Amino acid sequence: MSFVKDLNTPLLQLSGHDNFDMTAACNGVHIFGGIGSGKTSGSGRMFAGAYLRAGMGGCVTCVKPEEIGLWQRYAMEHGRRESIVLFDENEGFNFLAYELGRQGMDGIGTVTECLMRVLEAAKKASPTASQKGEEPFWENSARTILRYSIPLVYSATGTLQIGELIRFITSAPTDLKDVTDPEWQKRSFMYEVMKATAHSPKVPMGAAMRTLSAVGRVRRYKAWLAEWNAMGAKDEPAPPPKDNRVGRRRVFVTSAALLLLVIPACFRHLQDNEEWRTALILLWLVACIYLVGLVLRSIVLLGS
């Protein structure tokens, strides 16, 4: 389907010397008139036909149910039948698969950012949205998971759906031992996707992604898990902090015991110095009280 690129291209001839061109269309059109004056069946129909013939696209919001059939007829009359994408209770539009079908594997980045914008909009609309400082971490984690998951799911299935992305991520192994576990392989959607990507892909992966099928299956899982585990998919308990009080107590006990042994031996050399003798006696008493206190505390703890 070709489309008009020159903004000076006439789309409608309004009179003998007035044309409605692409520039005017891009500036916007507003049609005024009373009820039943022919806004839809007259000028609206002419503008709709001109836009369709020019290859333009847009979103038509239909208040009346009969407007759906009206626009389907417009599209058929002007050769745009295949361009209609209908949103209703029976049909929808998978924008993820559409964008990947249009760009191929080169559209992975676009689809990832598109999903991030959707998540951001949903978060802002939520009344319980968090405003904490750790939000950038979760945003970057979600982006990384999507960037690694989308190409694999799309390659294996030929399409992309939110439900399958969730299945792929939630069935990831939490340990490298699971990769070779037959039971995990039977129940894991991730394993099914990885196997299909390597052996029978619906959409061949691009040159930048071919390393996934060029290495062994276990190595492919390791590449994915390296990012998965780095983002805290499985929280490991932090090691308990070391208790330095035991080491300090050992130093004090050793010092006190040495003072009890050394101070009495020094008395004979300080017979003429009463001040030093008094100081050493006080220090010896402190060391003795400290050791006696430790012994009594140990006895009490043993008794309890």
pLDDT of 106: 77
Domain ranges of the chain: 10-83, 95-125+134-230, 246-303
At 237, phi and psi to the nearest 5? -65, 135
Q: How many Å apart are CA 140 and CA 289, to the nearest integer?
A: 60
Contact 146, 112 (CB under 8 A): yes
The two structure tokens encoding residue 275: 């001040």
Kindly list the distances between the CA atom of residue 211 and the CA atoms of 103, 214, 220, 258, in Å, as whole numbers in the listed order: 20, 5, 9, 68
40 pLDDT exceeds 60?
yes
pLDDT digits (tens, 9 = 90+) for 52-71: 999 998 888 888 888 999 99
207 pLDDT exceeds 80?
no
pLDDT of 54: 92
32 band by pLDDT with thresholds 50, 70 and 90: very high
Range in 54-63, 174-183, 208-217, 254-263 the model is least confident about: 208-217
Contact 280, 263 (CB under 8 A): yes
Q: How many Å apart are CA 53 and CA 80, to the nearest integer?
A: 8
233 band by pLDDT with thresholds 50, 70 and 90: very low
3-class SS string, 29-82: CCCCCCCCCCHHHHHHHHHHHHHHHCCCCCCCCCCCCHHHHHHHHHHHHCCCHH
276 pLDDT exceeds 60?
yes
Looking at residue 3, its amino acid is F
Q: Is this model's pTM higher than 0.85 or not?
A: no
Q: Find, among 132, 150, 131, the residue nearest to 142 by Cα.
A: 150
